[in-house]
Structure 1
Amino acid sequence: MKLMYALSVLLALLAVISPVFFASGKNNTEPEIAPTENSGEPVRETPYASPAGIDEGVPVCLISADSEQTLSMREYLVGVLAAEMPALFEAEALKAQAVAARTFTLYRMLCSEAHDGGKVCDDYSCCQARKTTEELQGIWGGEYEANMAKISAAVAATDGLCLTSGGKPILAAFHSSSAGSTEACGEIWGASLPYLISVPTFEGEQEVPNYVTEVALPFTQFKNTVFAAYPDAVFADEPSGWLSQAEYTSSGRVAAVRVGGVKITGTELRVLFGLRSTYVSWGETDSEIVFHVTGNGHGVGMSQYGANAMAKRGSSCGEILAHYYPGAELSDMTAAAGDGEHI
C-alpha cells in the first residue's frame, strides 16, 4: 500500500492547502533553523535543519546498497541536495533544487515504478544521489559547517513545497547543464508532458566547468565498443561513414544515428561512448573518431547551472521553477496525494 506508507503522516496534517503560485517566489512560513537530535546515529545527519515542519513528518524509506533505512523527508533531502547541487551555488538556485528534489521524491514514492512500497534509492541513474554526513565531512573538510548550514537552510526555506500539475506531483526532472535550451521530454522519452517542454537556458562555458568536452577513440577501440553492444554492426573501410544518418531533436540533440549500420537512439549513443550529453557532433582524424559534446545530462527539466545563472541575475526560486517547469504550480505537498503522471 504505497500511499499508506509514503503519506501516512501527511493525512494527519493540513487537509486542504491552496497552491502557492510562482509569482510570490517565497515560502511565507519559513521554519526556524535549529539543531536536531538523532539518537540512533553517532553523527547527526542534518544538524542545522528545523525539527518542525511538514518535511519532518514525512517518512522516506531509502534503499542504499543492501540496506534500508527510514528517514524523514527533511533528513533525506539535505543529503540529496548536498549530492545533487554544489553548495557554492546561489541560495535561490539551491531552494529551486530542493523543491525539485522533494517533488521528484514524492513522484517516485507515489508511482513506485522503480521500487516496491514507495521506496527510493540513492542511485542517481534511478532515483537521486544522496550523501551521508560522514561522506560530506570527507568531501567538504573545513567547509562542512558553512556548506551544511547553506544546504539545510534551502531545505528549511522550502519546507513541504512541491510542484504539481492538476493537483498531482509532477515528474520534476533536472540535469546539470544544457546548450542553449533544454529538451522536451517527448523527444527523448516518448511521452510528452506539458511542463517538460524545451525552454531557453542561460549557462555557458564561462559558468560551467567542462561545458564543452571531447571524447576521442582510436578506430579499433571504436569498433570493438560497438561490436560488444551491437554484434551485427558492419563497418565500411572509410571511417567517415561509420556514423551516419543522424536525426536531431528540435533543441539540436541527437535523437538517433546509425553506427556501423545499426540505428540507435541518442541516449544509447551517449551511454555507449560515455558522452556527457546528446548535444554532440563528431569527426575523424587519421586515427580516431572524435566526439565534441556540450552540456551534461539528459537535458530535460531544470538545468542546474541554468538555475544558478538565473539566480545570479536576481531570479527567485519561484521564478526559476516557473521557467523550467512552465504551467506547474508550487503547492504544499500535503495537497498532492494523488499519483503523478507516468511516462
Structure 2
Amino acid sequence: MQKAASRILMILAMILLGLTLVSCSNPEQKPQVKGNKDDSQAYQTEPTISLYINETKQTEKIKLEKYLEGVVAAEMDPAWPQNSLAAQAILARTFTLKKIQDGGVKAYGTDASTSVEEFQAYDPSRINDRVRKAVRDTRGEVLTYQGAYINGWFFADGGGQTASSAVEGLEFRKEKAPYITSVKDPGETITEPENKSWTASFDLATVRKKVKETAGNDPGPVQSAAILEKGPSGRAMKVKINDVTLSAPALRLALGNDQMRSSLIDKFAIENGKLVIHGKGYGHGVGMSQWGARALAEQGKSAQEIVQYWFKDVELKKAWK
C-alpha cells in the first residue's frame, strides 16, 4: 500500500511539474505600458475592431482598414484630390489607434462608434473607388512622436494659420502634444466663402443657459461679453460673459461648432439683444487643415508630405503590412 501511495504521489508531482513548465512556456501577454514602447509595433496584423453603430444601436466587428473607408468618405469630400484623401486616411488611422489605446468608447464598451461627437464621422454610403484607393495606398501607415501615436487631430479650415498648441485650439490638457505647431494654412486661398468670413448671433437667454452649463456658474441676464485672452495664432482662449470667465473652445462647443465656426474671432459683443460673434476659419484649428491638405495636394505634394507639414518632429511608420 505504501509503495502504491508513493507511486501515486510521484505521478501527481510529475503532472504538476509538467503543467508548470507548459504555463511558463506560454506566459500571458502583459498589458502594454504607454510611453515605454513603439506604438507602431503594437500590432503584427491588421486588427478587427468593435464599432458601435449609433443609428441602429448595434455593435459590429469590422476590419480597421474597412472602417477607415467609411471615415475618410465622411470626413472629406470623396471627389477631392487623391493625395488629400490619402492624407486623411493616415490621420484617421492614427486618430483611431490612439483613441482605442486610450480606452475607446467607454459608454458602449467598444473600440469606436459612428458618432462624430464621440469618435469620428462615419458614412459608408459615401465610399467610392477614390476613397478605397486612398486607404489601400496608405495601408497601415500611422504618425508617431517619439514612438507613440500622436493625436491625429484635423479640422476643416484654419483661417490662414493653425493653432499653436492643443491648449489654444482645444483646451486640451490631458497630455502634452509637442508635435502641434502653428503653420500657415494654404487652404485659405481655395476655401469656401463662409470660411473666410462668418458672423453668428445667439439669443441671450440661450447664451446664459450654455454658460451656466459649461462653467458651472450662472452669469445672470447677459449684459456684457468680452475676449480676455488670445493665443499666438490669434484664437480666443478665454472669454467673459458678465462676470463669468470660461474657455472659448468650451463655449464654441456649447453654442454649436457649426454656428460658432471657430475661435479665431475678432468680434465678441452684445448687439441688439444678441451675442454677436465674427470670425474666420472652420474648426478647432489644431493639426491638419482639410482645405489646406487639398491645397497641398493640388500643389503636387504626396500624402506623406501633406501630413508631415502640419505636425512637428513626427515619423511615418507602418503599423501592419
Distance 1:112 1:224 in 2: 32
Give the letter for the 1:312 counterpart. E
Displacement of 1:308 in angstroms is: 0.7
| 2:162 maps to 1:173 | no
Q: What are the Cα deviations for residues 209-250 of structure 1, in whole angstroms up to 9, with x where unaligned?
A: 5202221235555456546666621347xx4xx113521111
Structural mapping, 1:76-91, within 5 Å = 76-91=67-82
Question: What residue in structure 2 maps to residue 33 of structure 1?
Answer: none
Dislocated runs of 4+, deviation >6 Å = 1-4
CA RMSD of aligned residues (A): 2.7
| 2:181 maps to 1:197 | yes
Give the letter for the 2:296 counterpart. M
Question: What residue in structure 1 maps to residue 139 of structure 2?
Answer: 159
Distance 2:146 2:217 in 1: 46
Q: After the TM superposition, which of the residue ranges 59-68 and 216-225 deviates more from structure 2?
A: 216-225
Distance 2:261 2:141 in 1: 31
Unaligned runs of 5+ in 1: 5-9, 14-53, 137-146, 336-343
Change (3 A) 1:73 1:2: farther
Give the letter for the 2:172 counterpart. W
Change (3 A) 1:153 1:67: same
| 2:254 maps to 1:262 | no
Displacement of 1:197 in angstroms is: 2.1
Contact 1:93-1:311 within 8 A present in 2 as well:
yes
- Any idea what SS the aligned residue of 1:264 has? strand
Alignment: residue pair count: 272
Q: TM-score scaled by structure 1?
A: 0.71
Displacement of 1:12 in angstroms is: 8.0
Question: What residue in structure 1 maps to residue 37 of structure 2?
Answer: none
% identical equivalent positions? 27
Which structure is larger by alpha-carbon Rg, 1 or 2?
2
Q: What are the Cα deviations for residues 260-280 of structure 1, in whole angstroms up to 9, with x where unaligned?
A: 211111112212322121112
Q: TM-score scaled by structure 2?
A: 0.76
Contact 1:247-1:257 within 8 A present in 2 as well:
yes
Task: Decide which of 223, 232, 248 is 2:230's aligned counterpart.
Answer: 248
Distance 1:99 1:3 in 2: 26
Displacement of 1:170 in angstroms is: 1.4
Greater relative CO, 1 or 2 (CA 8 Å, sep 6+): 1
Give the letter for the 2:226 counterpart. S
| 2:48 maps to 1:64 | no
Structural mapping, 1:31-110, within 5 Å = 57-65=46-54, 66-110=57-101
Unaligned runs of 5+ in 2: 1-28, 33-40
Change (3 A) 1:228 1:148: same
Question: What residue in structure 2 maps to residue 339 of structure 1?
Answer: none
